[in-house]
Structure 1
């Protein structure tokens, strides 16, 4: 059966609940991130939900910070990994950024660096730890 992967910007409460449930499962339950670090800046963020054949499968967001536009909270549920959900999320989030988004960056978990490199992000600076997980800062070239 063909797989249909879609990612869309969401703002209604029902879709946001799906986004938060995905992030809770991936970051808090699976990766043991402290919940208090996971739920910050929600109101000022633009959220995205990815689906596979209509089933909630992934989430992400962007927000405007004092440094530039930060892409963050890319999460794909375990059952949907390897299906292109992450790529669809990155593509959709990048397409949604304002035209004047000159500086776009993220804190990428090490295992996702190669995904973001496909979209023109480059590692800058040394590896660091955030919420107990190894990351690199990446900037869109």
Structure 2
């Protein structure tokens, strides 16, 4: 990735932007990680979606939603060619900054290989490793 690249993460609501979010997720979860498509597309209307771009090109995506437990951060995905350049960190920071002020209980189901990223933002593993959609995860709670 060029050093003069322009990384931007923004909340998106327009269908054309949401289509880019869903395309990133399809590439990462369905194509690359073999997640069943029917498990990937749920709770879309009740979620707040984010798109990361590099020089205007879609590079990553994520979302948060309010659940009966609290606020769940989900679907963090960075396209393979953009990994290792801080996009995941930018996504996490932007999502956390966007949560309502009363968001006391913030949690996620983190893929095992991404746990260290979330630990940088005060998330801690809780409970045993578990399988979800054929991928190993830990439940993590923000302390």
CA deviation string 1:54-92 (max 9, x = no partner) = 110000000000010000000000010011110000000
Distance 1:30 1:67 in 2: 30
Distance 2:49 2:140 in 1: 20
1:46 to 38, 45, 48: 48
SS state at 2:77 partner: strand
Distance 2:5 2:86 in 1: 10
Match of 1:55 in 2: 57
Given that residues 48 and 59 in structure 1 are in contact (C-alpha distance below 8 angstroms), is that contact kept between their aligned partners in structure 2? Answer: yes
Q: So what's the TM-score if we normalise by structure 2?
A: 0.97
Distance 1:54 1:90 in 2: 19
Deviation beyond 4 Å, 4+ runs, structure 1: none
When the two chains are superposed, the root-mean-square deviation of aligned CA atoms in Å is 0.6
Unaligned ranges ≥5, structure 1: none
Please report how far the alpha carbon of residue 4 of structure 1 lies from its aligned counterpart in structure 2 after TM superposition.
2.0
Superposed, 1:11-50 pairs within 5 Å as: 11-50=13-52
Unaligned ranges ≥5, structure 2: none
Distance 1:5 1:139 in 2: 27
Please report how far the alpha carbon of residue 6 of structure 1 lies from its aligned counterpart in structure 2 after TM superposition.
1.3
Match of 2:139 in 1: 137
CA deviation string 1:93-132 (max 9, x = no partner) = 0000000001000000011000000000000000000001
Distance 2:20 2:73 in 1: 19
SS state at 1:51 partner: strand
